[in-house]
Structure formats: structure tokens, C-alpha cells
Amino acid sequence: MLKEVQVTKTYLPDKKEYLKYVDKIWESGWLTNNGALSMELENQLKKKLKVSYLKFVSSGTTALQLAIHALELTGEIITTPYSYVATTSAILWQNCKPVFVDIETDSFNIDVSLIEEKITSETSAILATHVYGIPCAVEKIELLAKKHNLKVIYDAAHCFGVEVDGKSIFEFGDTSICSFHSTKIFHTIEGGAVISKTEEIDKKIFLNRAFGHIGDIHSMLGINGKNSEFHAAMGLCNLPGIQERISERKKIFENYSKRLEGLPISILELKKNINYNYSYFPVVFKSHKEMTKVKTNLENKKIYPRRYFFPSLNKIDYLEYQSCPRSESIAERVLCLPYYDGLEDSTVKIISETIKNVIQDG
């Protein structure tokens, strides 16, 4: 029987390591609310990600909502249609309106040259995603934001460990968020973080994530966005080996790239000044039909790539339609191939040959 190959496989650390932390939790009797392990994880993450202000929260989505709230955004937020639904839903959840700006077809990121024409007197911010861990045009976005007095939030859910010219990707924008969901390269089962540029925003996030009060002093509105010691423990187990795992993934990336070389498909173009985390292996096919055929043929072999991202978020039913032809076109043709630590060469070979055969059959 063929074994199933999913698009990703959650990394699980040594169980004994995890249980050592569980023992500590039992000894302390402290399960949540800024426990020792959560504090330790925040400190280690700040070092690893080279940032000053980071708060560990219950998910990447909560992180987005907290960031929008803490920056006091209102009205319209300029955003990308090519992202996971949480990028858009967080804007709606905070009672703001997403205004979509189409993407660049090579980087998959928001096309900065199209932003200015969408700015109105109602615009309060730009919320852009660094898609597949490829940095947005951060400097151009910063200039534009300064010129129009807008805040900038980055959905950096895909970006754990990514650096631009030696600088952490999380240093850009007023805040960035990361997701530590089990499907992400670094995970805490469920979880995420808000990374802020200033202590002022960081303090607000701290309060906003815990009901807006410390003791009897209720200073602002808040929600419960905290995370637990059990989640922090998973993070503390997963963090030490992360760089090694990224190196392993780089090899798989190179293997796929080599095997797919010369085919009329697009794969990620990597730039020299960027340290990638090799989180995803997206392939854009020439037509929707070809993508579907590849997907079906792989599924017949119990290999499950993912249409990621699909749908283009501007086409979601509960939103008024705004046209973004490039994002729509890519969302119709993209597949993320199975990609995880320990993915075998033989599987990469089967996947690559299946793609080749579909393309050659026309």
C-alpha cells in the first residue's frame, strides 16, 4: 500500500524533552498567565529573531487582530488578496474595510506601485503579507506609509527566521505578526506572536492580550489572547534545532528545483541578499487545467499538494468584489507541493515525474 504524503508534516520534537517541561509545569502548578516557560520562550524568540519587542499569543490570527486594535486602525486598510484568509478576516473582525491591491506575479507580494491610487482619506494602514517568506518591498512601503501617514503591519506568518541583508524581516513595519501553528516551520501547536517596533505598542499588546487589566487596574479594552505553558514548552523544544531543519529543507528545495528544471512552470526565485526559511514550494502552472490535472494525478498516488493560496481573497463571497486579475490568475494555477523535514528523495522524484508527464502529455 502506498503511504499518504500530505503537503506538510508537523515537526515533533523528542517526547522526553517535552515531558521534562511537563514535569516543570506540574512542579510549578502554573499553567498560563505569563508563566515561566512563556516568558522564557519570549526571551529566546527575541534573541533568535533579533527583535526587541515580542509577545507570545494564542494564534497568528489573534496576533493580527491585536495588532490592528493596538494601532487603533479604522476605516480602510490596504491589503493583499494573495494570502491566507486570516489576513482579510482580521481586518473585517476589527470593523475595518479591506481594500485590495493586486500583486506582483514574480514575488506574489503586494505590488507597491499600485498602492497609491487606492489611498483615500479613510485609509489608515497597509497590511501586507510576505508570501511564502519572500519579503515585500519593505523600503518602498515604508516611504509610502510615511508620505501618507499610514501605519504598516506585516503578516509575516511564513517568515520565521527570514532576514534581508542580515536584518530580521520582523524589524519592518509598526508591527509584524508570526504564526506558530503546527503547519508552520516553527510551531507551538497553536500560537503566534506580535512583534512591535516600539515599547509603547508592545505594552499595549501585553494589556490587550490579557483583558486590558493588571490586577484591579482596568486601563483599556482587551481580549484573551494569551497562550499556555504547554504551548510554550513545545516552542522551547522546537527552537534549538530550527536552523538545522532549515538547512535540511534547503536541500529538498534544491532537489525539487533540479528535478523540475526546464519545465514551463514558475517556481520561487531566490535572491542573494535574503536568508530564506524554505517554508513552501509553490509551483505556478500555465493553466488551471494543467494544475488540476497534476493535482488529480498526484492524488491518485495518495500525494496531496495544496491549493495555497486559493481562493484569491478578493473573491470571497461575503466581500464586495474588487478586481485583482493577477492574484486571481495565480490562485487558479498554483499548487504548493509536499514539503517538510524528512521528505524523501524518492517522493520528490515521483512528484516531479508526475508533473513532467502531465506537462509533456499537454
Residues that bind ligand PLP (CB under 6 A): 59-61, 83-84, 86-87, 129, 155, 157-158, 179, 181, 192
Nearer to ligand PLP, 119 or 186 (CB): 186
Question: Considering the complex, what minimum distance in angstroms separates the CB of residue 176 from ligand PLP?
Answer: 11
Question: Considering the complex, what minimum distance in angstroms separates the CB of residue 61 from ligand PLP?
Answer: 3
Beta pairing class for 53-57 and 175-179? unpaired
Nearer to ligand PLP, 193 or 233 (CB): 193
Nearer to ligand PLP, 129 or 168 (CB): 129
Sign of CA dihedral 139, 239, 86, 95: negative
Who's near 198: CB < 8 A, 6+ residues apart? 53, 174
Question: Considering the complex, what minimum distance in angstroms separates the CB of residue 337 from ligand PLP?
Answer: 16
Nearer to ligand PLP, 327 or 352 (CB): 327
Which residue is associated with the grid cell 526565485?
269
Return the residue nearest ligand PLP (CB atom). 60
Question: Considering the complex, what minimum distance in angstroms separates the CB of residue 145 from ligand PLP?
Answer: 20
Quick one: DSSP state of residue 269? Answer: P
Question: Considering the complex, what minimum distance in angstroms separates the CB of residue 322 from ligand PLP?
Answer: 19
Distance separating alpha carbons of residues 238 and 18, to the nearest angstrom: 9
Alpha carbon of 119 to those of 67, 77, 86, 322: distances in Å? 20, 9, 22, 15
Distance separating alpha carbons of residues 352 and 281, to the nearest angstrom: 12
Nearer to ligand PLP, 8 or 123 (CB): 8
Nearer to ligand PLP, 44 or 183 (CB): 183
Question: Considering the complex, what minimum distance in angstroms separates the CB of residue 190 from ligand PLP?
Answer: 6
Contact yes or no for 4/334 (Cβ under 8 A): no
Alpha carbon of 358 to those of 284, 351, 362: distances in Å? 14, 11, 6
